[in-house]
Structure 1
């Protein structure tokens, strides 16, 4: 049996979407339930916790596997196995940042401009202390339990917090002077569970499925019909690792090729294929793109 801890709150919706896209739908009695199951790998125990709690739960062995933010893995210092990483945030397909910010009228442009004794509010005291000490700054770290922007100026002079769009900073007259870390979601495993072959096989397969669901939608499948005599030129324009799918049923002298590529490369690739003599090119969406790159 594999036990799984999933994030409650800001990362919850994206986590559930990713698991469902991977065919690992989390079943629970209601959206407000903190317990669920997955019909795969005997995952009969799925529970939801705050992202900051999950690294310690995985390290302690309370759960075998968890999904949380890389910022909380670093902040906790938990000894866990990072199995897979996904660069998405709550609102976008991009990672978020852990930053050092000051009021817009502050003179500082980088961390070394801050004076000794500066008060820094944050929900990440361990990460902040390490960062400030590495920069040679002696600071008073003020632990925040949310709404960190409101701590300035009465309780703090600067802050360390996560940023996605920067909208909240701008609304509170703050600006970034340093990016401490770029963060995404991480699939983490308990080291002891990961050493168990039976559990490790399930964990790796879960990681493969999640990765396949994550990268798949960014790709398309191209199906190309080309005259046999133009095959050499068309093959050069196909994506790497393409394959010959066969011949046309209507004309055995027409060859069918297929290949997977990223969406951003579609316009140039279609242009090159048509210039190389392709009769037509059909684009199909990709739901999942699985590979064996996770094998160790």
Structure 2
């Protein structure tokens, strides 16, 4: 089969989460050893591993037709790419991450204006420079190769601009956040010429649709139960659902089978209430996709 699309998979911290997301969406990606070209169970796709920091550059240039990377790295390089879909997932949680400015916990610095004349360490160099230039604040921005939080502790920087989801690492280094500069999440981006190609665009849209459906399914579960006829109205009234629960009579019985799709955060409180109201044989099951 003809290869239609060259797809970039982010190498590094997001790699496993991305491969797991594709698996739930129907694609099996196998990374063997140090190969930068994983196998995928779709003959129309060629995969390439690429660091998230470089993905938008390679997509913009056309080396890769489409790929997954953070909004932060698109912004860092001011890449001229087509954003196909927002995909909120990460190695830690299903919520956007934040780039923040942090200083030592005992620092007198409390605002971005207080940083004038100081040194800031970050991996997001160009974006950080533009951030302060727009505010006419003169700072010295230095690139950090990693362990950015330690730069303040070791005296190499007065402040850092660093990404965080829970702020646990920042707090562990006795730092305090004084400002949030950006909220970021993973995005599926495409080369603009590739997006204009009907075959490539159809494939990219298929990937976007199934990845998003898998992410929606992550937040929901299916629930099924048996309910006596005299309790059906009360039980159905307790059930949130996408379009209303499915209710079907059981064979030669005055009982009904009731099935619904609900939010995972709601089910733990719902099940005890359903049992109390007379539901029996309750089954909770995971979902792969919700379209």
Q: Shorter-chain-normalised TM-score: which range?
A: 0.7 to 0.9
Query: Does the Cα contact within 8 Å between 2:222 and 2:287 map onto a contact in 1?
Result: no
Cα deviation, residue 196, structure 1: 2.4
Q: Distance in 1 between matches of 2:56 and 2:163?
A: 18
Partner of 1:133: 133
Higher mean alpha-carbon deviation, 254-263 vs 210-219, is at 210-219
Query: Does the Cα contact within 8 Å between 1:5 and 1:49 map onto a contact in 2?
Result: yes
Runs of 5+ consecutive residues of structure 1 not aligned to the other structure: 292-296
Deviations 1:1-53 (A, max 9, x none): 1111111111112111211222211134x14221123223611x211111110
Aligned positions of 1:192-203 closer than 5 A: 192-203=193-204
Aligned positions of 1:1-296 closer than 5 A: 1-28=4-31, 30-40=32-42, 42-43=44-45, 45-114=46-115, 116-152=116-152, 154-240=155-241, 241-251=243-253, 253-271=254-272, 273-274=274-275, 278-280=278-280, 282-291=282-291
Query: Does the Cα contact within 8 Å between 2:236 and 2:245 map onto a contact in 1?
Result: no
Partner of 1:294: none
Q: Distance in 2 between matches of 1:171 and 1:224?
A: 46
Cα deviation, residue 214, structure 1: 2.3
Query: Does the Cα contact within 8 Å between 1:88 and 1:96 map onto a contact in 2?
Result: no
Cα deviation, residue 97, structure 1: 1.9
Structure 1 residues 285 and 84: alpha-carbon distance in aligned structure 2, compared to 1, 3 A threshold: farther
Structure 1 residues 245 and 49: alpha-carbon distance in aligned structure 2, compared to 1, 3 A threshold: same
Deviations 1:55-82 (A, max 9, x none): 1111112111111122112111112222
Cα deviation, residue 281, structure 1: 5.3
CA RMSD of aligned residues (A): 2.4
Query: Does the Cα contact within 8 Å between 1:75 and 1:124 map onto a contact in 2?
Result: yes
Cα deviation, residue 236, structure 1: 2.5
Cα deviation, residue 250, structure 1: 4.0
Q: Would you say how many aligned residue pairs link Structure 1 and Structure 2?
A: 286
Q: Distance in 2 between matches of 1:135 and 1:124?
A: 17
Q: Distance in 1 between matches of 2:275 and 2:164?
A: 44
Higher mean alpha-carbon deviation, 205-214 vs 160-169, is at 160-169
Higher mean alpha-carbon deviation, 6-15 vs 91-100, is at 91-100
Q: Distance in 1 between matches of 2:281 and 2:205?
A: 36
Q: Distance in 1 between matches of 2:69 and 2:7?
A: 11
Under a length normalisation based on structure 2, what TM-score does the superposition of the two structures give? 0.87
Cα deviation, residue 278, structure 1: 4.5
The runs of 4+ residues in structure 1 deviating greater than 4 Å are: 271-275
Query: Does the Cα contact within 8 Å between 1:238 and 1:273 map onto a contact in 2?
Result: no
Query: Does the Cα contact within 8 Å between 2:88 and 2:95 map onto a contact in 1?
Result: yes
